Structure 1
């Protein structure tokens, strides 16, 4: 059986390194190559017949969509699994990728196991994953069952300040991605307005500042079905495209997924 070859295409070095590390850790028998943009990816694909492509969307030069379109015009890559790994999650972009022949779509940031599952789905069926990978998957499954059976409430992922027309509101981070964040605020501290621009100062649980993200409120919801509810859930859509902010935020989100030793 020939060795499975995987190509990772992303212009952000820290993302390339992160994805490469995950795939190598769980599938050490695979050949893993990386390309820094779409043009570099096309050159690599012209020299090597890869079995799986993990590709970013927005890159200088040739974009992920353009690389996908080119790939589907090539005899070897007409039906080779191509997974778009990107922060682009808008419906129009997803439809473009589907129409161009993408096999799957994974949003940034992502948990390690999400990526492992994608690789298993599209390439791992041909080569069994390592024993260490199976052990980790079993541990994750067991821990998931334990948490579900005990019905333990999720702890906040972090702390933040929401700067809005209602003031500087202390809040807890419930969910966070590179595109948006859901925070819980106390009703009595003030109620922000739907669609108003805000700044979210995200902190580590230890209190260290992580990033000041600009955005606008896309959702407000009572935490309980009662007019007396104490907490409100506030959904904020980020509008920042600053590479430094996004890199810091990506590292912070990745740290949330790490299990304590």
Structure 2
């Protein structure tokens, strides 16, 4: 393996079992750092194989994957002499304290919660690579300019979460990179969900990446499903409609999540 890397040509490894997220992260990295080389793989086994064949300078890895979890990839990475100090960013919809602590104990450098914006991803990458002085002044300037442009293009969203109204098919939380919406489930299958949120002036956007936390009727969490918004529509033809329907298409192919989802669907049908 090579032991020295060119500051202008770093190798980035993206690991995620959801194709949409792999493509999205790859696109974000290439837009921010066009001189980087980006490789994307769909599971931990492919990730460890790739790391044995090529030297990577930063790893962006999902936590919840079949066969080999992101935590197991991290533990394997830190057991390798060539990767003991390599920046490793865990990208996941799990934000509970116990999961964060496990990742820290295993040697993670930083934690990026799904869903996330390009600004948040680039900030984490710059922070990780700057610590090892792996970014050239030109790369730092380009990243800073892109972050500033993103701030100007994205208006600030209201911080208060929207309230929901009860529906017989259950409750959920819809999370984008800035806000959490309490919502009620109107319809649900293994590929998509329709939820309703109260109109309080702040909405997610069409094609925006989100996480849907579906809850059991008892209040226990069932699954955190990654997806993207396919449509948003007012529930009535009024400018001040009180509620809005949001359709989310699921991107997760995790067998465990799909199994939980199947049981939940059967329980509310």
TM-score range, shorter chain: 0.5 to 0.7
CA distance in 2 between partners of 1:211 and 1:57 (Å)? 14
Q: Which residue does 1:67 correspond to in 2?
A: 73
Gaps of 5+ in 1: 185-197, 219-235, 256-261
1:137 to 147, 169, 176: 147
Q: Does 1:44 align with 2:43?
A: no
User: What's the RMSD between the two structures over aligned residues?
Assistant: 4.3
CA distance in 1, matches of 2:40, 2:91: 14
Q: Scaled by the length of structure 2, what TM-score is found? A: 0.61
Unaligned runs of at least 5 residues, structure 2: 187-194, 198-202, 233-245, 249-269
Structure 2 CA distance, aligned partners of 1:126 and 1:164? Answer: 52
Residue of structure 1 equivalent to 2:227: 247
Structure-1-length-normalised TM-score: 0.63
**Alpha-carbon displacement from aligned partner over 1:208-255 (angstroms, at most 9, x marks no partner):** xx999743699xxxxxxxxxxxxxxxxx986345x5xx32359989x9
Cα contact 2:63–2:92 (8 A) shared by 1: yes
Instruction: Quickly say closer, same or farther: Cα 1:100–1:92, change in 2 above 3 A.
Output: same
Map Cα deviations across residues 133-165 of structure 1 (whole Å, 9 max, x no partner): 443323345578xx7xxxx884999x8863258
Structure 1 SS opposite 2:166 = strand
After superposition, the C-alpha distances for 1:167-212 in whole angstroms (9 at most, x for unaligned) are x9xxxx9x8349x93359xxxxxxxxxxxxx6372477899xx999
1:16 paired to 2:22: yes
Highest Rg: 1 or 2? 1
In 2: Cα distance, 1:126 partner to 1:217 partner: 49
Aligned residues: 206
The question of 1:163 aligning with 2:185 is answered: no
User: Is the Cα–Cα contact under 8 Å of residues 215 and 240 in structure 1 kept in the other structure?
Assistant: yes
User: Is the contact between residue 85 and residue 105 of structure 1 (CA under 8 Å) also seen in structure 2?
Assistant: yes
Contact 1:162 1:199 in 2 (8 A): no
